[in-house]
Amino acid sequence: MKTIKSITFLLVLTMFFTLALAACGESDTVSYYIISDKQYTEKADLENAAQPEQLTAGQDVYASVYFIESPKGMEYTAKWSINGNVVKTDKQKMHTDKSGMIVFSLEGDKVIAGTLKFEISYGGHTLASKELVIAEE
């Protein structure tokens, strides 16, 4: 009887850890983000800002991303594409612990008319993506 209780306890404990690890792996660390011609460095400013429906060619573009549950030093990859062609890939690390902002930028000379796509990923998994129209100057 004692052996059955021990085995049952081990099975329950193993299932608990398996579920806990699976839930951690699916955690979304991107709390909020905006793609804009303005950069936001404060959470309150970002939350009060509106996502533009389109941007203008030739202007710098910023992706202001607020992360949660993200340890200091965690590295995220941003990929910028226009009309399906990757124009920039950028890696940045969290400078704060638990939560904080990272601003990714795309230089104006790379911003041409068409469809802009921004993707933020960690470890090969896309955490968030957004598409915007880039209008002629």
- Along the 137 residues of the chain, how does pLDDT read in single tens digits? 667 666 655 544 455 444 333 344 445 899 999 999 999 999 999 999 999 999 999 999 999 999 999 999 999 999 999 999 999 999 999 999 999 999 999 999 999 999 999 999 999 999 999 999 999 98
The residues, any chain, with a CB within 8 Å of residue 59's CB and separated by 6 or more, are: 37, 108, 111
Spatial CA neighbour of 59 closest among 18, 25, 106: 106
| Under 8 Å between Cβ of 123 and 90 | no
Domain that holds residue 33: 28-135
CATH number at residue 112: 2.60.40.10
The reply to whether 126 falls in a domain is yes
State how far the Cα of 102 lies from the Cα of 63, in Å rounded to an integer.
8
Query: What's the rounded Cα separation, in Å, for the pair 118 and 86?
Result: 10
* Count of structural domains within the chain: 1
